[in-house]
Amino acid sequence: MFSRWTDEGVYFVTRQKENAHYRIVEEKPVPKQRNILKDQIIEFEGYYSRKKCSGTLRRIEVWDEEKKEVIVLLTNHPGLGATTISSIYKDRWQIEIFFKTLKQNLKIKTFVGTSKNALLIQIWTALIAILILKYLRFRSQFNWSLSNLVAMLRYNLFTYRDLWEWLNKPFNVPALVPVGEQMRLEFSNIGQQNAI
């Protein structure tokens, strides 16, 4: 899988399995006064490991200050610094939370298209929708959770109410607007006048 991604120009950052067998090809210098312990170029050893990844990878050991443990990362990106690779891995949770929010709140299970353009359109549309929802939640005086706001908006989509009033007081019953008498059309009596 790693070989295929590399061949297709896809960069990745992932954790290394504890039982991985590898050979160190090169030791790279590590930045001083950072949480980077090692930066190495490696090759996997073993039949199945070589099938998954026949080329070289970067192996970066990072000290996680919060968990007080060493995290070992693998990447195929040769140009980024070890600290940047570490930050990418740390920030992956924000990406996972974003896609979890999409699945839960916007009911997006799979992408409609698979081309680059289709994916970009769907991701941008979802980002815009999430930003609008978060803005509505921010402006509201009611303590909405994002999932409840989405559900109630979906439920009230075809209800005519003032949006800001509804956001602040969603359970208030709106005042009934009296329906006026329907206007008469002037030419509705044309046929009746001739009959008299």
Say what percent of the chain tops pLDDT 90. 20
Secondary-structure breakdown of the chain: helix, strand, coil percentages, each rounded to the nearest 5: 45, 20, 40
- Residues 70 and 19 placed together within one structural domain of the fold: yes
Q: What is the pLDDT, as a whole number, of residue 97?
A: 84
Asked whether residue 175 is assigned to any structural domain, the reply reads no
pLDDT tens per residue across span 6-25? 778 888 898 888 888 888 89
Q: What is the pLDDT, as a whole number, of residue 62?
A: 92
- Least confident stretch, 81-85, 87-91, 156-160: 156-160
Asked whether residue 191 is assigned to any structural domain, the reply reads no
Full domain range(s) for residue 61: 2-91
Which of 10-14, 19-23, 33-37, 59-63 shows the highest mean pLDDT?
Answer: 59-63
- Residues 10 and 72 placed together within one structural domain of the fold: yes
Element of type H or E holding 100: helix 82-105
pLDDT over 60 at 81, yes or no? yes
Residue-wise DSSP of 102-138: HHHHS---S-S--SHHHHHHHHHHHHHHHHHHHHHHH
- Residues 21 and 64 placed together within one structural domain of the fold: yes
Residue range 173-191: average pLDDT?
A: 69
Give the bridge partners for 70, in sequence order.
63
- Residues 86 and 8 placed together within one structural domain of the fold: yes
Return d(Cα 172, Cα 165) in angstroms, integer: 9
Question: Would you say the pTM of this structure is higher than 0.75?
Answer: no
Asked whether residue 46 is assigned to any structural domain, the reply reads yes
Q: What is the pLDDT, as a whole number, of residue 132?
A: 93
